[in-house]
Amino acid sequence: MTEEKIRVLIAKPGLDGHDRGAKVVARALRDAGIEVIYTGIRQTPEMIAQAALQEDVQIVGLSILSGAHLELFPLIMEELKRRGLEKVIVIAGGIIPEEDIPALEQVGIKAVFGPGTPTQKIVDFVNKAVKGEWSSVG
């Protein structure tokens, strides 16, 4: 019996056009055997949620540098819920102030990875999170 491949959607919400970090994470995940769908830049919350639905992903990774995370991430979470995707794990990365992380966790973001995070830490989180190993993720 073969294990189902993990599918991750990497998205750049809002007007943020800087995608180097998202591409680095996407490549690291792909190199670890994870299937990655990259939506590209300037995605709306509706576009991200629809892509997550169409691609049947287990995880959505949001990358943001614009500072609009407190506005955009809750909208994305609402759009995912509207499509019945409450079980999709949502993670975030980019320039997100430490003091904003509790608010993001409150809307359902499971992890926030800032600049300089080793890509292996993200790969490990994804692998463990999909298996439901929350307590050993960190």
Residues 63 and 135: their CA atoms lie apart, in Å, by 24
Helix (H) and strand (E) counts in the chain: 5, 5
The amino acid at residue 112 is V
**Structure confidence by residue, pLDDT tens digits, 2-34:** 568 999 999 999 988 889 999 999 999 999 999
Kindly list the structural domains of the chain, giving each domain's residue range(s) and its CATH number in brackets, ordered by start. Answer: 7-130 (3.40.50.280)
Q: How many residues does the chain have?
A: 138
Alpha helices in 3-138 (DSSP H): 20-31, 45-55, 69-82, 101-106, 119-130
**Structure confidence by residue, pLDDT tens digits, 73-94:** 999 999 999 999 999 999 999 9
The pTM assigned to this predicted structure is: 0.93
